[in-house]
Chain A
Amino acid sequence: MAVVSIRDLVVEYSSGGYAARPFDHFDLELESGELVVLLGASGCGKSTLLSILGSLLAPTAGSVQIDGQEITHLGGKDLIEYRRHTVGFVFQGFNLIPSLSARENVEMPMLAAGEAKQAARARAEELLALVDLTNRSHHKPGAMSGGQQQRVAIARAIAMSPKLVLADEPTASLDYVQVDGVLRHLRDLAAPGRTVVIATHDERLLPLADRVVELTPKADRAAGRQPERIELAAGQELFRQGDAGELVYEVESGAIVIARELAGGGEEILQIVEPGGYFGELAPMFGLQRAASARGGDVPTVVTGYTLRDFRGRQSTGL
């Protein structure tokens, strides 16, 4: 049985008045002991997915089960218990509490959960030894290097022996010397009984992963595909806002309506593309999701989809 089971996840929020939907009927299952890397560009929803797994955010729709427990509607004591005992976080930029020493940062989740001071202290010392920071336990975060701080964050994340550890860009702000130690400790976290999910755009982490989940398509993913001629009935959808973008389209006949969905419902028409015009080049170029929807106009429409390389070739030859 999967430790993490995400079904039909929809996340939608308002971004400058427009509807942003980083996850639209997204499914994912993670097994115990796996180290999974969520790979994607900034803004693709990696941190949002971690927040949902950590029950820090509630999705718009869908189901998220951790070890069989539905977490999308947790509240009150159940929510606090979940955050205390089931999940541990390694935040981007370390996010230690600057007024506390390394040991106290590790102790804090245990003390907050009501553990005795002595027991919490002993466990914190043990965890700091695990991340090779015994001699830094009395140092404040400001007196430690980025790598050391991130190792303290790792120790804090596993203080309550959670089944799921979530790490957000754990190597951001670290140089290559510091990255080594952090990666080694992250790899060690993934063991039977514990699943580690790392959100990153740092491809240096990929060799660590048991599984890589790409949240945005690579720019060259469509490479090698032949141009696709598509006939659309009047009003028929070509792609939807939030979809992965792989092809650039050129209108052969008819017209294409480019519209952006609004947060409160409805849409704003951004452009009508007529024969000879093209659209949809930014998503494949930068590995982004579609920022607007495209559909046929009032008459039957024909478009041709090109890979980015083919499209550039046509541009340079003036076709």
Chain B
Amino acid sequence: MAMWLLSRRELQFRSRRALVAVLVSALVFGIAVAAEGIKRTLSNEPSAFVDSFHADGWVVPRDGSPFTTISVLPASMGAALADTPGVTSVHPVVNGRATIVSGTRQNANLIGYDLADGKGPALTGGRAPKSAHEIAVSSGTGAGIGDKLVTTAGTFEVVGTVDGMRFNASAPTILMTFAGAQRAVLGGQPYAMGFAVNGRPESLPQGTQFSSNEAAAADLGLTIKSATSTIDFITLLTWLVAAGVIGAIVYLAALEQNRNFAILRATGSTGKLIVGSLLVQSLAIAVSAAVLSVPLAFVIRLGMPMPSTLTADSFFRILAVGLVVGCLASIAAVRRALRVSPAEAFGGA
């Protein structure tokens, strides 16, 4: 009871300072949540992209991957694969990179895959590309159906849109016909970089291997591993900054309360009461900041050039982080408070 009363009154007494600590920490927490949302986006993209093909697996050059390798296989291998027992359908794939030069200049993923038979990524608008000059685009290209998209791989007409196909750090994807991609990426040579397979081939052509969707997504995720690790590190730093802000405020308050601690100890309060009071003050600031960071994260996300995926998990995690940060932030103040001698109560104001 005494601990709660003291904590509440101290926070009220220093409410302006506590408010500043809450606001600054909430901003820092909000940045951490939004950054974590970007990491989540980046981490989810590879599997979302690979899954969008609705394949059971991939036949790729040995030690290769359908979307990161530059090794090639004869496109004619597709026909042989289709006849292999266990295989129900085969679709050749070519991948490459291009730079969009119309509008905002930016890199884009270029995927050659025939949508004509209804397999593969689902269209969210328009129709499937039918010729080498037609493409479907994901979000982020700045082009819509009917627009011309000028790229370093050629000029194309947008005839359809697809969803969930951004990868390589949210770069937009240009989906074209297989033949169109062969021409744009491989100079028209009759090669494929892999085959999307439905079913499970009982045997594989020489020089190839079967790659699961998970393996394909994991391979694709390697390209952004350093980026996600960097985000993790920056997130950790932001938590430390929040701990520092709250810790500084609580420590300052503890310094000002030295005489109070001496009085409390002289009048029979235990060290637990004093420690508990500081801990409660620190946790109250940290948890308030964590709660306030939720709406702030949504605002911060609006200003971010990359999509940030905010989920309930993020907010539960930031609450947990708030509790940990609050405990860490109170350590210096608690150490200081426990060093105060009750004899200090004897002294003029």
Which A positions have Cβ atoms within 8 angstroms of B? 47, 50-51, 54, 56-57, 80-81, 83-85, 88-89, 91-100, 104, 107-109, 111-113, 117, 156, 160, 168-169, 172-173
Contacts and interface: CB of A to CB of B under 8 A. Distances in A.
A89 B267 contact: yes
Nearest to B270: A80
Contacts of A168: 346
Interface residues of B, number: 28
Interface stretch (B6-14, B40-48, B157-165): B6-14
B260 A97 contact: yes
Contacts of A47: 346-347
Contacts of B273: 112
Chain A's interface: helix, strand, loop or mixed, by majority?
mixed
Given A47-B346, A57-B343, A98 B13 contact: yes
Contacts of A91: 263, 266, 345-347
B268 A109 contact: yes
A107 B264 CA distance: 12
Contacts of B342: 54, 56, 83
B349 A173 contact: yes
A243 to B, nearest CB: 25
A108 B6 contact: yes
Contacts of B270: 80, 112
B79 interface: no
Given A56-B345, A112-B269, 12 more contacts: A47-B346, A47-B347, A54-B266, A56-B343, A80-B268, A81-B268, A94-B349, A95-B345, A99-B10, A100-B6, A108-B5, A112-B264
Nearest to A107: B5
A107 to B, nearest CB: 8
Contacts of A83: 265-268, 342
B347 A108 contact: no
B263 to A, nearest CB: 5
Contacts of A112: 2, 264, 267-270, 273
B269 A172 contact: no
Nearest to A77: B270
Given A83-B266, A83-B268, A169 B348 contact: yes
Chain A to chain B: the 9 pairs with minimum beta-carbon distance, closest first: A93-B349, A84-B268, A99-B13, A111-B2, A83-B268, A99-B9, A112-B269, A56-B343, A93-B348
B341 interface: yes
A51 B266 CA distance: 9
Interface string B13-51: 110000000000000000000000000000000000000
A183 B259 CA distance: 25
A50 B347 CA distance: 12
Contacts of A100: 5-6, 9
Contacts of A173: 348-349
A173 B6 CA distance: 27
B312 interface: no
Interface in B244-287: 259-260, 263-270, 273
Contacts of A95: 259, 263, 345, 349
Contacts of A54: 266, 342
A160 B268 contact: yes
A50 B349 contact: no
**Most chain A C-beta atoms within 10 Å of own C-beta, residue among B259, B265, B267:** B267
B348 A172 contact: yes
Interface in B308-349: 341-343, 345-349
B266 A89 contact: yes
Nearest to A57: B343
A108 B2 contact: yes
